Amino acid sequence: MTSTTFDFAQWPPSLTDVQINALTQHATTYALSHGLTYLPPGATQPPSPSSTIHAPISLLPSPIPRSLFEQAQRLQSSYNILYAQVAMDDDFLDNVMGAVVGVGKADEFVGTLWRGWKAIRDEEIVQPLHLGLFRSDYLLHTGEGDGRISLKQVEFNTISSSFGPLSEKTAAMHRYLNALTNYFGVSPYFKSENFPPNDTTARLAEGLAEAHKAYGVPGAYILFVVQPNERNVFDQRWLEYELLEKHSIRVVRQTFEELATSAALDPDTRVLRLTVSPALSPLGSLSTLEVSTVYFRAGYVPSDYPTPTHYTTRFTLERSRAINCPTIPLQLAGGKKIQEFLTHPGVVERFMRDADVQSIGTATKDLRETWMSMWSLDDPDPPVVPSDYPLQRTMDEPRGTTAARALADSLVLKPQREGGGNNVYKQDIPPFLETLPAQDREAWIAMQLILPPQGLGSYLVRAGATSDPNGGNKVVRSETVSELGIFGWALFSRETGVRERGDAGWLVRTKGVESNEGGVAAGFSVLDSVVLVDG
């Protein structure tokens, strides 16, 4: 928590139309020149793209108090260790996320993943190592009532933590604009020392390279499991190029549908091998490649598994000797129900004690200070409501559901989903609860809303129609909310313990206040970066 003399309502500084047009031209040209790009919209994308558009971006970086930015960076190591410990606790995951007694009973997607993982455990797991490329997301919170601003966690991502490379390029773009124009002198904060470095691409590639090294076969490939017709392909390609250029590790990209026919396990060793076409083969002919590491940029939403074959393919990868990023238990550990359960008394303390973390009291206190109140809809005793507080209940519904209805204006409801567009907010909560089947309540959590600084704004730039006389770029000045993500990685097993890196770079996504959701790929946000301010 920090007190700050910075006035968020005065951001962004005023710019003239001439200045906005100049910055837009410099920013979009830089983005296109440096691979800060998307594939253009379309029903399908060709195997060999012939055009790109710049990613959605902000013209100015967003202000974040220096002390809170540094706090978020310090916390990442503790979060890496915490979620690694959760992923290695089979009994805990069975109880919270399982299909027998946990969330998997109410959520078919979670239940199917859990059942597949349980079957693999019963057979025998041949690769004990897990790799996590993580991102912890935060908002600034002004709800303390004393003018102080604190850092509050939105969620912790354990699968497909995207936009690392493009966030690095966005930060570089803002440094370039500052160096070129000094942003026309409109703010004293536009100094080089207030633009923190961001080397996310190298740090995330480092985590993948460490897993490849642990596998022990230098000539093996890293497999990127990707979605078909992926528009955010360049964010992934920059990791691929870093792995080849800095670590001499090759990458092969496949969808679940392609893997259904290309992937096979050695019946004795469970080595994962792919039969790939000449276009993907380094030999220019039909080849079989051994896989050291499986990096999932798909598989986090039910739509990634349209048929049972897609789940079977996921389980084949999990059964293999390749190191999965993430494993199914690590993906389950990122569920919203886990986030809520960790807030229960003694839970996070137990995991940090099991990890033999020094200064457990300090570590757990620092983590807990970033959490809002959360509870399950089937909770009999939600933490924000005193036990003697009268609630108008509907039939025999749980007190947690009644509390969510009564306090709806200050809440968000979250399912066990990633990727944006899944949550229910404020006034939409009561009618949603009326239609939610009782057996599905366990799959949802209620979370008190984080209250960002009001009046903060930005200039948001999205690529538009190429026939637009202004060059196809739409610039909107909007009141905004900015979300800070901190990256980290961990390579771990019960036998080796946890090796992790907490300082793996950062991301800022900015959206208009009228949008509840925050996903860039889902179309809600733009890529942004940080200018450090007082505090």
Residues in binding site: 135, 155, 157, 159-162, 230-232, 236, 297-300, 336, 414-423, 425, 447-450, 483, 509, 511, 517, 520-521
What are the tokens at 121? 């455990």
From the list 58, 78, 157, 529, the catalytic residue is 157
Q: What CA–CA distances, in Å, run from 343 to 72, 348, 349, 374?
A: 18, 7, 10, 7
Concerning whether 135 is annotated as a catalytic residue, the answer is yes
DSSP 430-493: HHHHHHS-GGGGGG-EEEEPP-PPTT-EEEEEEE--TT-TT-SEEEEEEEEEEEEEEEEEEEEE
336 is catalytic: yes
Chain centre to alpha carbon of residue 418: 8
Catalytic residue among 505, 509, 525, 535: 509
Choose the catalytic residue: 98, 150, 155, 500: 155
Tokens of 152: 């509050």
The verdict on whether 419 is a catalytic residue reads: yes
Please report where in the chains the tokens 């076969």 appear, as a residue: 217
Rounded to an integer, what is the distance from CA 274 to the centroid of its chain? 28
- Give first-to-last CA distance, the chain, whole Å: 9
Q: Does residue 58 carry a catalytic annotation?
A: no
Catalytic residue, candidates 168, 210, 318, 418: 418
Q: Which of 499, 486, 210 is nearest to 355 (CA)?
A: 499
User: Binding site for ATP: residue ranges?
Assistant: 155, 336, 414-423, 425, 447-450, 483, 511, 517
Residue 353 designated active-site? no
Query: Which of the following is catalytic: 66, 203, 336, 399?
Result: 336
Residues 434 and 364: their CA atoms lie apart, in Å, by 37
Task: List binding-site positions for substrate.
Answer: 135, 159-162, 230-232, 236, 297-300, 509, 520-521
The one catalytic residue in 62, 77, 78, 162 is: 162
Spot the catalytic one: 152, 319, 399, 414: 414
Tell me whether residue 20 is exposed, middle or buried, using C-beta atoms within 10 angstroms of its C-beta: 0 to 12, 13 to 18, 19 or more.
middle
Quick count: other Cβ atoms within 10 Å of Cβ 14? 9
- From the candidates 66, 105, 135, 399, which is the catalytic residue? 135
Which residues have a catalytic role annotated? 135, 155, 157, 162, 336, 414, 418-419, 509
